[in-house]
Amino acid sequence: MFEGVFTALVTPFRDDKIDYSALEAIIEAQVKGGVDGVVPVGTTGESPTLSFEEHKEYVKRVVTLVNRRVKVIAGTGSNSTREAVHLSQAAQEYGVDGVLLVNPYYNRPPQRGLVAHFETVAKSITIPVVLYNIPSRTGINFLPESILELLDRAPNVVAIKEATGDLAQMMRVIELCGDRLTLLSGDDNLLLPVLAIGGRGVISVLSNVLPADMKKIVTLYNEGKLDESRKLFYKILPLCRAMFYETNPIPVKAAMEMMGRCTGDIRLPLVRLADEHRAKLRQALVDYGVRL
């Protein structure tokens, strides 16, 4: 159901308000670029600094703008199970194709707490659920054995965005869960290795900037054109690294501004990209061939 390239959408701001005109142009560029789906209000979409009202309105607008041309997976995770249920039920009402649930951050629940959290949210809705395992952001790692236990309890859990950076753990997830769970890379710079171990795509930051190129890497790989896929992957790899000169989404917002896609406005406590990183990012984009 969820395979290929899914763009973790930025949330464009202007004067500290969501810029829906910019969003419309961003959505059109993503559809034209051939991505398989978009993921609004995730980490890249600055979900921690959106109000509930902004969060829900943004999801609703994205669904309307996409108009079923690609899939929409809404970020609805929270460290409060009740909040995650509320946001997930609202997203289902708006017509999303699935929801993305990040590990509950800061609370640091034990594994049985993680299973109970995800089970409760998944059972509150009928649409598919994508897990999001990112210990560097959340302080907790959802382990493969626990993921398997969750699948037995909540059959609408269908995929996982894996951002541990640990290929051995990802292989264990695939080994245990098999075809019951689609594994997607949560790191652009691991896309090719993840495909090689059995992953089925990526939820990407860089595809905000280069949707067609990210899609081409996956398409070439799936067509068995491994050398061509690898060549493009290594060409794009410096830009994958550039997206993390500072905390995501600071660099991708700066790149989008350089390309005229939206302002570089970002909400505190995140701040605009530092000047020395801005110069490096601009050069990386130019070196790749992006027109600024």
At 19, which amino acid appears? D
Q: CA 44 to CA 8: how far, in whole Å?
A: 6
Q: From the candidates 161, 215, 216, 253, give the one annotated as an active-site residue.
A: 161
Candidates 166, 186, 234; CA nearest to 44 is: 186
- Choosing from 56, 58, 71, 132, the catalytic residue is 132
* Alpha helix (H) residue ranges in 11-110: 20-33, 52-66, 81-94
Which pair of structure tokens corresponds to residue 44? 């890249």
Which residues fall within 8 angstroms of residue 177, CB to CB, at 6 or more apart? 144, 147, 148, 151
C-alpha pair distances (Å), 226 with each of 186, 195, 237: 21, 11, 16
Give the C-alpha distances (Å, rounded to integers) separating 176 from 25, 132, 172, 182. 41, 17, 6, 12
Q: Which residues contact 198 (CB under 8 A, 6 or more apart)?
A: 171, 174, 183
Q: Rounded CA gap, 88 and 125, in Å?
A: 7
Residue 60 catalytic?
no
Q: Is 132 a catalytic residue?
A: yes
Task: Write down how long the chain is.
Answer: 292
CA atoms of 170 and 200, how far apart (whole Å): 12
SS3 call for 243? coil
Active-site residues: which are they?
132, 161
